[in-house]
Amino acid sequence: MLNIFRAIHHLEKWGHEIRVYVLGRGALSGAQAQELARDFYFPVKAPIEVFTGKVADSDALVATEWTTAYAARGVPNTAGKFYFVQDLEDRFYPEGSLSEFAKETYRWGFHGITLGRWIADVLHSEFGMACSPFGFSYDRDVYSPNGSDRARGQRKRVLFYARPQTERRGFELGVLALALVAKKMPDVEFVLVGFQPLKMRLPFRATFGGVLSPAELARLYRGCDVALVLSHTNLSMLPLELMACGCAIVSNGGPNI
């Protein structure tokens, strides 16, 4: 969501008129969604409306998730259709209906705008989809090594990007890896971020940072020596933000990394 509203914010700065449509009949109205977007992401001017089957005439219609691609496919009044792809969503599911529904959207001729080259390569080679990748980056006003309070000789601190609710982030594998570290280096301090603190038993002692603001995250990153960040589909933005704060990274390998 952050990258979507970042893109909207920059497009508006460059003079483009944007309208945002959201799917679903949730508890939020378009006005409430717009307020949340401005408060938690970027101060966009774009009006946000609930999608009812019709959209305003446009030069470009951009789907941002596989279910929105189904909605965009039936919209006739646009000059071009694009697909903002931040991860391979078919890999979020076991082999089955939802995986196939997601894969099908890559075959419809939308032009892909992909987070990184790996996704572009997969979509082009497996589905023949034309793509324009953009690179990973970070907010330089937030993430930097300035203000680090790490002192020489201080207890070593390891951060783990822990998302047990998100299978592709390899939570169980990460816990097993950190258990080995704790056994060999019992004085290491472990900090878990990425989810609300839960009652869970871990094979090592850890503190839970919870879900923090970017400024709070940057302070925490500057106070860590190394971070474990696992990504079994597309890379997250986290490694660059951590490295920008002077924290070393341990990750799994592969073309997606």
pLDDT digits (tens, 9 = 90+) for 11-26: 999 999 999 999 876 6
- 154: nearest Cα among 122, 178, 129, 188: 188
Band (pLDDT 50/70/90 cuts) for residue 249 is very high
- Secondary structure of residue 125 in the 3-state scheme: helix
Largest Cα–Cα distance of the chain, in whole Å? 64
Q: How many CA atoms lie within 13 A of 7 on its CB side?
A: 18
Average pLDDT, the chain: 91
The continuous run of DSSP H or E covering 68 comes out as helix 66-73
From the options 2.40.50.140, 3.20.80.10, 3.40.50.2000, 3.10.270.10, give the CATH code of 157-250: 3.40.50.2000
Evaluated on CA atoms 239, 193, 159, 93, the torsion sign reads negative
Distance (Å) of CA 70 to CA 5, 128, 194: 21, 18, 30
- 36: nearest Cα among 26, 235, 67: 26
Residue at token pair 């939802």? 98
124-162 residues labelled b (16+ CB within 10 A) or e (exposed):
eeeeebebebeeeebeeeebbeeeeeeeeeeeebbbbbb
CB 255 within 8 A of CB 231: no
CB atoms within 10 A of CB 99: 16
Q: What is the pLDDT of residues 85-112, one digit of tens each?
A: 999 999 999 999 999 999 999 999 999 9
The continuous run of DSSP H or E covering 22 comes out as strand 20-22
Residue 221 burial (CB < 10 Å; 0-12/13-18/19+)?
Answer: buried
pTM of the model: 0.88
Band (pLDDT 50/70/90 cuts) for residue 119 is very high
Band (pLDDT 50/70/90 cuts) for residue 213 is confident
What pLDDT sits at residue 147?
67
Band (pLDDT 50/70/90 cuts) for residue 41 is confident
- 46: nearest Cα among 55, 57, 37, 58: 37
- 51: nearest Cα among 73, 36, 81: 73
